[in-house]
């Protein structure tokens, strides 16, 4: 007997879903994997976005999440709009997901069972484990990829693997080894400016701030297309690196300059806050290129820089931006308290300054008049030979 999908009530059920534990069709399965809401999923889950975020990990464990590479997905939904998703084809298998981390889990499941793994297999495993924050496992797979390198591998692919190993080394605090892999990459292509940005990162992490600044500047001064016709897509992260370096060196004007340069690259505060509100209200926005924690940290760094410069009103402007984006952030609240103290101190200093200025102004007038009277009394007294005058 043919069973009907328990979700959409229209299509033929193919298997029992690992997420909802009921019989569903491929169409409903596809929609959940790509994060697209349907009437059936909305009816079952209530709050679909929360349900999706909570249970997508179960979807990644399911044996029915794989499709053949010729599979044609229906992108239409019976409610709402389309969706954005990531996909990956390995040999004759296709996997896809709305979340790049969940896709990484599926990629690992596809590739790890391969008996005779090649460089590409180890690279895929390494890259996927990096996305999941599993740097030790990623490092081991990428080193195996290096071991299989031969004359058939072009320089661009070698550099790609070297960069991934560097990223593992950075995360594992293996800074000297990370620098070694970046140097290997630079030897193969010294026109790739992001490699100099990575060197800036490595030196910054080793507290070599002047050296770090040199390489960040080098990455920005030579920004452009490399020998392969590609450009550093994340060059603006050098701005953050420079802001940190200059802050460490107590050069606050430069700290403010570079932090603002990154923020201005995104947009003004009104635009940033608009995105924040959308995400807060449940909208999923992938590919932003920044996190709101990062934005708040930058606003706070600028706030501290203005506090160090005793420019309390400017500090107030930036800490208020942080408070709007992180109303429950304890560190921001503490910083706001310091700003209020600074403003109060500044107001008190200005009050005392004005008081002293007025007092001194009055004293000058009184003293000038007083001295004038004495001087007048000293002139031509008696025979005009007065040399001293005693005032009581």
- Write out the two tokens for 9: 């009530």
Residue 226 sits in the same domain as residue 118: yes
Its pTM surpasses 0.85 = no
Residue 42 sits in the same domain as residue 119: no
Spatial CB neighbours of 210, under 8 Å, sequence gap ≥ 6: 245, 249
Q: Tens digit of pLDDT for each residue in 268-278?
A: 999 999 999 98
Residue 295 sits in the same domain as residue 366: yes
Residue 65 sits in the same domain as residue 118: no
Residue 210 sits in the same domain as residue 275: no
- pLDDT classification of 388: cutoffs 50, 70, 90: very low
Q: Tens digit of pLDDT for each residue in 85-122?
A: 889 999 889 999 999 999 999 999 999 988 899 999 99
Helix (H) or strand (E) holding 133: none
Cα separation values, 258 from 151, 200, 252, Å: 42, 15, 10
Residue 95 sits in the same domain as residue 23: yes
- Give 234 or 228, the one with higher predicted confidence: 234
Buried b / exposed e across 351-367, counting CB within 10 Å, b at 16+? eeeeeeeeeeeeeeeee
Q: Residue 321 belongs to a domain with what CATH number?
A: 1.25.40
Does the residue 159 lie in any domain? yes
Question: How far from each other are the two terminal CA atoms of the chain, in whole angstroms?
Answer: 124
Query: Looking at the 3D structure of the chain, how many domains does it have?
Result: 3
- In this predicted structure, the answer to whether residue 389 has a pLDDT above a threshold of 70 is no
Spatial CB neighbours of 270, under 8 Å, sequence gap ≥ 6: none
**Pairing assessment for the beta strands 86-90 and 15-16 based on DSSP bridges:** unpaired
Residue 198 sits in the same domain as residue 223: yes
Does the residue 256 lie in any domain? no
Does the residue 228 lie in any domain? yes
Structural domain boundaries enclosing 142: 114-235
Q: Tens digit of pLDDT for each residue in 2-14?
A: 799 999 999 999 9
Residue 217 sits in the same domain as residue 118: yes
Question: Facing residues of 228 across strands?
Answer: none
Query: What is the full DSSP assignment across 331-388?
Result: HHHHHHHHHHHHHHHHHHHHHHHHHHHHHHHHHHHHHHHHHHHHHHHHTT-TTS----
Q: Residue 127 belongs to a domain with what CATH number?
A: 1.25.40.10
% of the chain residues with pLDDT over 70: 91
Residue 118 sits in the same domain as residue 208: yes
Q: CB-side exposure of 299: number of CA atoms within 13 Å? A: 27
Residue 88 sits in the same domain as residue 119: no
């Amino acid at each position: 007997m043919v069973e009907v999908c328990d979700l959409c009530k229209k299509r033929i059920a193919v298997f029992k879903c690992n997420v909802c534990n009921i019989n569903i069709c491929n169409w409903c399965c596809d929609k959940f994997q790509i994060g697209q809401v349907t009437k059936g999923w909305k009816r079952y889950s209530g709050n679909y976005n929360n349900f999706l975020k909570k249970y997508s990990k179960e979807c990644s464990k399911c044996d029915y999440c794989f499709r053949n590479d010729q599979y044609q997905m229906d992108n239409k939904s019976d409610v709402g709009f389309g969706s954005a998703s990531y996909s990956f084809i390995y040999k004759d298998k296709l996997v896809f997901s709305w979340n790049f981390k969940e896709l990484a889990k599926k990629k690992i499941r596809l590739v790890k069972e391969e008996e005779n793994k090649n460089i590409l297999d180890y690279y895929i495993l390494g890259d996927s484990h990096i996305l999941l924050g599993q740097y030790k496992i990623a490092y081991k797979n990428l080193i195996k990829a290096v071991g299989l390198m031969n004359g058939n591998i072009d320089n661009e692919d070698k550099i790609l693997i070297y960069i991934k190993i560097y990223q593992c080394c950075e995360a594992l605090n293996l800074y000297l080894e990370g620098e070694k892999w970046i140097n290997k990459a630079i030897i193969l292509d010294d026109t790739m400016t992001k490699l100099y940005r990575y060197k800036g990162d490595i030196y910054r992490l080793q507290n070599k701030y002047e050296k770090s600044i040199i390489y960040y500047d080098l990455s920005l001064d030579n920004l452009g297309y490399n020998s392969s016709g590609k450009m550093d897509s994340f060059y603006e992260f050098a701005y953050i690196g420079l802001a940190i370096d200059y802050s460490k060196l107590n050069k606050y004007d430069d700290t403010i300059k570079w932090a603002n340069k990154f923020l201005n690259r995104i947009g003004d505060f009104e635009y940033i806050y608009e995105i924040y509100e959308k995400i807060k209200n449940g909208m999923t926005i992938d590919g932003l290129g920044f996190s709101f924690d990062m934005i708040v940290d930058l606003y706070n760094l600028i706030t501290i820089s203005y506090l160090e410069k005793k420019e309390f009103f400017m500090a107030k402007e930036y800490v208020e931006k942080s408070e709007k984006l992180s109303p429950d952030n304890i560190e921001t609240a503490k910083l706001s308290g310091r700003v209020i103290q600074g403003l109060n101190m500044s107001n008190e200093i200005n009050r005392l300054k004005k008081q002293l200025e007025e007092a001194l102004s009055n004293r000058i007038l009184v003293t000038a008049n007083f001295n004038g009277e004495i001087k007048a009394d000293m002139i031509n007294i008696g025979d005009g030979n007065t040399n001293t005058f005693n005032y009581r």
